[in-house]
Structure 1
């Protein structure tokens, strides 16, 4: 059951713990599956052929009628967005920024949020190349600048939370509320040996479903790009950046997450102008394993901020 960070351990939302179920992937005309079941760059959508000239939609399946693919270009970055649901009156859209730019990481929670508002899962890194955290954050900010027609709830996970944090500072008018899920890295994890030890501890608590979901995306992005992004994220200082965020901030961490220990999450929420910290069951990959629970937290936080 979710509880606030800190010794009091008070409940902050209803007990809605439920494993999120991954929806069946959509296949392209050639039968190949891209990230989250979407056409990869250079592949074809069912209706339009090359993704670069895509009309913006995938043919719906019986269980997946609300997903649609849109390809955006901003600041020279080729991006795409997987959308679910429709924006409801009085409820802003939720835009997700995945860890290490791997969209499979947040498929479950993005699908769940699509049940109560418009949910957008970003893939803004483009082809593998010289990508670091500042590039990642700028790509998210540029996407918001070009695409968002109203302030959104920006939600990032892990290194995606770091990118979302910087994007919220760069584009304050575009972000109504900020959700940081398992934000990385506390000072003691900014060296490779300590990070490796934390990784081994996390493996013991992580579900196999998380690894099955994210490993194909990691392979697609490539080891060099992942390492460059990871090392630049270790050099980042979220504890300094978060003080410049104008909107309300919710920090969410898994109770068994060694990458985001409770003192670190509490420090971030206390440094924010309007911050709150919540503990939830699970390890670092809790948004994938508990998509329904995470969606409910975001929905409750959104209601308080609107």
Structure 2
């Protein structure tokens, strides 16, 4: 009850609970067409803006229709601590069901859309595009978004380095998170030097489907090699095994059975260290949430009920 009261009065400011049926033009923004990351995803947005920009009108969230051959969702823009944060939004709010908020790894949002649309079948779902400067900055933005936008606690989901950011955000803003799901959280102590990541990547790649790389690589190219290396170095300095002990809500750790970035021993350790934690294994490798989106969404749905 106390957590619900903390969010009272935010609906009007953030527009979280308002049904989304408008696009950028309806928000008073001239629309344009384009392609998102070369992935065959169409987007619409304000004139002069680039994919991933966060321009909006005033403090009212703007929405843009985004469609692909497989999915339909909307891009939403919210003002958080003086900057506008973009998220991809699908699904509808349901009474008594927490919204799902998903944080991608390395700032590449596209590969998580299969899981996001699986979650959208049972709840309102947001994939956050929160930047990629470094891990602490991303975690701070996620925590600030959770404080500013939702009007009720959410199930917070993060994948890879996004799991590290979600973990930090859950500690920083515990009242906003009803349940936490860490998908292939990085990095175990054995992978905390940059040169060690290449052998792990090669072993993992042998078990990843080709369509994952077609989705991820354009996003990585858009971000740039230097930026990715800087972000990885900041993530390798993190200590999730210490942070997870501070999380008060139920925690689910999920890894792929062939995941070289999140070995079974690492996932088990994190699950055991959490106050209310457990670890499970999914088919696939590090990118299992792209290949097995519906299965991943079902795990998230089951875990969300533990926090109610």
TM-score tier, shorter chain, comes to 0.7 to 0.9
- 1:271 alignment partner in structure 2: 273
- Name the CA shift for 1:37/1:174 in 2 (closer, same or farther; >3 Å): farther
Task: Tell which deviates more after alignment, 137-146 or 33-42.
Answer: 33-42
- Pair 1:53-2:56 in alignment: yes
- 1:140 alignment partner in structure 2: 142
Instruction: Provide the aligned C-alpha RMSD in A.
Output: 2.4
- Pair 1:101-2:107 in alignment: yes
Deviation of 1:31 after TM superposition, in Å, equals 3.8
Deviation of 1:105 after TM superposition, in Å, equals 2.4
Counterpart contact for 2:42–2:67, Cα < 8 Å: no
Deviation of 1:62 after TM superposition, in Å, equals 10
- 1:124 alignment partner in structure 2: 130
Deviations 1:82-112 (A, max 9, x none): 1111121111000000001111121110011
Give TM-score scaled by structure 1 length: 0.82
Q: Whole-Å Cα distance in 2 between the matches of residues 165 and 152 of structure 1?
A: 13
Give TM-score scaled by structure 2 length: 0.82
- Name the CA shift for 1:233/1:97 in 2 (closer, same or farther; >3 Å): same
Counterpart contact for 1:254–1:282, Cα < 8 Å: yes
> What residue ranges of structure 1 are gaps of 5+ in the alignment?
1-27
Deviation of 1:64 after TM superposition, in Å, equals 8.2
- Name the CA shift for 1:44/1:190 in 2 (closer, same or farther; >3 Å): closer
Query: SS in structure 2 opposite 1:173?
Result: helix
Q: Pick 1 or 2: higher relative contact order, CA cutoff 8 A, min separation 6.
A: 1
Counterpart contact for 1:78–1:124, Cα < 8 Å: no
Task: Tell which deviates more after alignment, 191-200 or 181-190.
Answer: 191-200
Q: Whole-Å Cα distance in 2 between the matches of residues 109 and 205 of structure 1?
A: 19
Counterpart contact for 1:77–1:139, Cα < 8 Å: no
- Pair 1:297-2:303 in alignment: no
Query: SS in structure 2 opposite 1:210?
Result: helix
- Pair 1:212-2:214 in alignment: yes
Q: Whole-Å Cα distance in 1 between the matches of residues 45 and 229 of structure 2?
A: 22
- Pair 1:83-2:89 in alignment: yes
